[in-house]
Structure 1
């Protein structure tokens, strides 16, 4: 089954993810370092871990190549891309090889996003960014489904 993993520390648009996941019948794992409000839905699972490193590690250990991650953490994105995971920033930008190279060149994890040309973490999305994000997420879901036999729907 194709799942979506949200790095809740870096995603201000969870509600849009929930709606798209519901539409496609996908499970969403919301991974956070503190309790966050999520809809009461058997396909939305909240995972609360003690710190950011543990949260990132949990995502890396549980995600599969045909899953999708939503984050703005360059360090986490690089680790996930090494596993073949498609990573979408909450700004709608798809992390790719060029971004990975910029991230690796950054001097420290706090500078990952800025040096990769990514927006500040967790900032609220404007209407056009939300539309762009949802369009990109749908495109990724459709692309994975077109090339994978691992989903149920």
Structure 2
């Protein structure tokens, strides 16, 4: 298993948790972004700067992802591609995307995009909270524990 991070919009506390997890579990963790990312000096933590442009980082992650890898992203279309390829997708707020729910999530995302495109103000996401951090940490721990039990 490797961990890939859609890093441009990933909250700093989530990145810090992932850095600690990479060291603790010795799982390669790669942050992918359109800009240079600072990462701790580590045998297990890397960053990749991709060209600017819509979905360039997403395409890079999908291209390099192998089945059972974990991708951290809030991007629903990227999560759908990850699931289609056999990987796991976890949002920075701790929601695990699943094959059973991804189609409905894509539909809702597209609907909200249409509303915003037509000028309807839909508001944004709430600020990243302590509860979000805790939910993410718990879900990440479950995934990594399951991976280790399976002989990872």
TM-score tier after normalising by the smaller chain length: 0.7 to 0.9
Instruction: Indicate the larger mover: 23-32 or 49-58.
Output: 49-58
- The aligned residue for residue 135 of structure 1 is 138
Distance 1:130 1:106 in 2: 24
- The aligned residue for residue 71 of structure 2 is 69
Kept after mapping to 2: 8 A contact 1:66/1:86 = yes
- The aligned residue for residue 8 of structure 2 is 9
TM-aligned CA deviation for residue 124 of structure 1 = 5.6
Task: Spell out the pairing of 1:70-85 with structure 2 (5 A cutoff).
Answer: 70-85=72-87
Structure of higher RCO (CA pairs closer than 8 Å, 6+ residues apart):
1
Kept after mapping to 1: 8 A contact 2:8/2:35 = no
The count of residues paired between Structure 1 and Structure 2 equals 141
Q: Where do 5+ consecutive residues of structure 2 fail to align?
A: 117-123
User: TM-score, normalising length from structure 2?
Assistant: 0.81
The answer to whether 1:94 aligns with 2:102 is no
Kept after mapping to 1: 8 A contact 2:92/2:136 = yes
Distance 1:140 1:125 in 2: 21
- The aligned residue for residue 119 of structure 2 is none
TM-aligned CA deviation for residue 98 of structure 1 = 4.1
Radius of gyration: which is bigger?
A: 2
The structure-2 alpha-carbon separation of the partners of 1:80 and 1:105, relative to structure 1 and needing over 3 Å to count, comes to same
Distance 1:100 1:73 in 2: 11
Instruction: Indicate the larger mover: 96-105 or 133-142.
Output: 96-105
Kept after mapping to 1: 8 A contact 2:76/2:109 = no
The answer to whether 1:18 aligns with 2:19 is yes
